[in-house]
Chain A
């Protein structure tokens, strides 16, 4: 669901459940909701394969890309593109993960696929994401100019009351967040929610008001349709720029609940015990679920 709005796709269902609930016994709706949510896992975790195979299998386990992308959709993909370093540094989303997600979207019949981030184009060129995107047939958008953004009110925010968000994201039919998971000096960890700062123009405001809370505030407005986390190699110290200690975890985690996904990924940092308070804040605000035992998590190893 893009920026937590009632999109073209789910508008009919939600509107009818609002208006028609007067006529249909509520138990029927409840049953429908419950069955719908039980049909696929909330989180899928593919481990042991390559970045490519892990990505394919993690998405497949959620019901496949067709569950998220339809024919003629405009898809915006947001990788972590913070540095110019190669994938070896584990500071940016692995190009193979980017390429795989693009190819999946193309197979689903997407009309236009953009790989977008606020970072300068040279980052895309050097860290391999540009090559991956071009190879797979997506367009790279370095959203480095203010006119590429639009100001929106963040009514549910506790500190952030409005933000300038990339227009392409606001206009997209489907928004897919593909962060890397790594340590972050200020935010504790950067996984999915923190990665969304890369579609915002006025990021300085986040740092001057309270980084954790403003990240959570942003997530009350923007909710990616799908999050695919690159946890193939994890920078566990000296993030976000590195160099630091790297763990070989060979995993890709996919799901739709940004809080649940981030909560799941904190397990990779148990020894370090970093405080990513924004996850807790987002949970309190109803952005998603933090209690993983309530969720259906499908973990599997690729042989």
Chain B
């Protein structure tokens, strides 16, 4: 009887120990959510030290590591905890997620080699498992982070391997073709570099990357591949005319390329002809259907036009039109149509819907703004100026009103009026970054290097992640060199 009582007592005691251990863990979790970080950390440490083999030790270490990483910004401490989870836990998911987090810590600490090893281990661990640890997009992000590590380590061979993997996953990724070609160039493999540059030029001639190659590697491709640029340049001319509202010229250029029976460029030209028609008739539904039926979509996409942009924009145009069927005076739908058409460079339909939006709500400044730009796209300078002027009248305290007018003057080549209006925008809002950028550009163009420097530096300070930052930095380098020279 005594033995039975002792056994029951010991068993009960074990139960109590388990209960308390878990309550410590949960208490720490509660404190963490309550943002009582110090107390939470203390209890997690106590839990880990007191129960090194408990089921939730990995979870406690993870929570403690997150605390170090996210709150204390102590990436070294965090990395030690993640390492400890990897070493001590037999659980695959804890290992996989810890490898990812440890990789991130190493990246922040600029330990590129260690970070790369973490991501490599992560991919190894994931091989052969059917469990979805990461969605496709997150996996893509991790691959890009591994790639970045190789880039930081100047490990060109691994970069080349990864570029090939990216291209295999997405054969339409023109950025990766250019990256791959550049990597081949850096290891003096001209033949491979030219092959991949050529792929962009011929399969995706409407892409920014094709223009970039034309601008920077024209001679290389001419000398190494004997590439005749005539048809590509004719295509580019057609593209610029189409985007600039000169449809007759565009049509003639595209026809010339088609007549030359260049089989690779023909794919892109046929798509541009469809887009040209759309820019004139505004039939988004028809273009969407036609683009859906084009052959070779998986291999050549829309010939360098962004598929996601076109699919998304055309769908939105269609949605807004459907809204107008119920009420043709809905301002938001009218304005959205004007805006979406403007984005596709279909300036005629854009103006048409914006004029309707203006008649519904003549006191709204942004309609005049958009109308000004749409008329500018059609090269109708009188109407553009008229609308930008009204925008200033309707919204005189908004820096953007002057910025838009300045852009109009810059577009027509009236530099001094552009400077005047950009300066006014800066005067109204000293944090209006674009005006500083444009002033920097204009001052550089008219050889006022000191003023250009001041404005570009201010722009970089105000908008460090702006899309124009690389251009501003390039200009700064040029200006520095020119000032030092003088």
Contacts and interface: CB of A to CB of B under 8 A. Distances in A.
A286 B58 CA distance: 10
A281 B93 CA distance: 8
B98 to A, nearest CB: 9
A155 B67 contact: yes
Interface in B1-56: 12-13, 15-17, 19-20, 22-23, 25-27, 29-34, 39, 43, 56
A18 interface: yes
A3 B134 contact: no
B25 A286 contact: yes
A157 B32 CA distance: 12
A5 B32 CA distance: 8
B481 interface: no
B57 to A, nearest CB: 10
B381 to A, nearest CB: 40
Interface in A154-171: 155-159, 161
A284 interface: yes
B135 A210 contact: yes
A281 B132 CA distance: 11
A5 B16 contact: no
A27 interface: yes
A30 B23 CA distance: 9
B32 A211 contact: no
Contacts of A31: 16
Contact of A5 (B33, B56, B135, B137): B33
Interface of A is mostly: helix
Given A30-B17, A161-B70, A207-B135, A18 B23 contact: no
B31 A30 contact: no
B66 A156 contact: yes
Contacts of A39: none
Contacts, number: 98
Given A18-B27, A33-B19, A33-B23, A211 B33 contact: no
Contacts of B91: 284
A284 B43 CA distance: 19
Contact of B29 (A26, A210, A211, A286): A286
A6 B16 contact: no
A185 to B, nearest CB: 13
Contacts of B93: 280-281, 284
A232 B413 CA distance: 74
Contacts of B60: 286
B261 interface: no
Given A1-B30, A284-B94, A209 B134 contact: yes
A95 B31 CA distance: 36
A34 interface: yes
Interface string B99-139: 00100000000000000000000000000000111110110
Interface centre among B29, B66, B134, B137 (most CB of A within 10 A): B29
A233 interface: no
Contacts of A30: 16-17, 19-20
Interface string A1-44: 10111100000001001100000001101110110010000000
B63 interface: yes
A5 B60 CA distance: 17
Interface in B381-412: none
B26 A286 contact: yes
B133 A213 contact: yes
Interface in B58-92: 58-60, 62-63, 66-67, 70-71, 91
A159 B59 CA distance: 14
B59 A284 contact: yes
B97 interface: yes
Interface in A261-303: 277, 280-281, 284-286
B33 A4 contact: yes
A208 interface: yes
A291 to B, nearest CB: 10
Contacts of B23: 17, 33
A37 to B, nearest CB: 7
A17 B26 CA distance: 12
A153 B71 CA distance: 10
Contacts of A27: 13, 16
Interface in A51-105: none
Nearest to A285: B59
Contacts of A155: 32-33, 63, 66-67, 70-71
Nearest to A281: B93
B138 A156 contact: no
B366 to A, nearest CB: 21
Contacts of A4: 29-30, 33
A175 interface: no
Contacts of B13: 27
A277 B134 contact: no
A42 B83 CA distance: 36
A190 interface: no
Contacts of B133: 210, 213
A3 B33 contact: yes
A227 interface: no
B19 A156 contact: no
B135 A208 contact: yes
Contacts of B62: 156, 158, 285
Contacts of B29: 4, 156, 220, 286
B276 to A, nearest CB: 34
A159 B133 CA distance: 9
Interface centre among B22, B33, B138 (most CB of A within 10 A): B33
B33 A221 contact: yes
B35 to A, nearest CB: 8
B273 to A, nearest CB: 35
Contacts of A209: 134-135, 137-138
A153 to B, nearest CB: 7
Given A159-B134, A286-B26, 19 more contacts: A17-B23, A26-B20, A30-B16, A33-B23, A155-B33, A155-B70, A156-B59, A156-B66, A208-B135, A209-B137, A210-B133, A210-B135, A210-B138, A221-B33, A280-B93, A284-B58, A284-B91, A285-B59, A286-B29
29 contacts: A4-B30, A4-B33, A5-B33, A5-B34, A6-B34, A17-B23, A27-B13, A31-B16, A33-B23, A34-B16, A155-B70, A155-B71, A156-B59, A156-B62, A156-B63, A156-B66, A158-B62, A210-B132, A210-B134, A211-B135, A212-B132, A213-B97, A213-B134, A220-B29, A221-B33, A277-B131, A281-B93, A284-B58, A284-B94
Interface of B: 12-13, 15-17, 19-20, 22-23, 25-27, 29-34, 39, 43, 56, 58-60, 62-63, 66-67, 70-71, 91, 93-94, 97, 101, 131-135, 137-138
6 tightest A-B CB contacts, nearest first: A30-B16, A208-B137, A158-B97, A286-B59, A6-B30, A286-B56
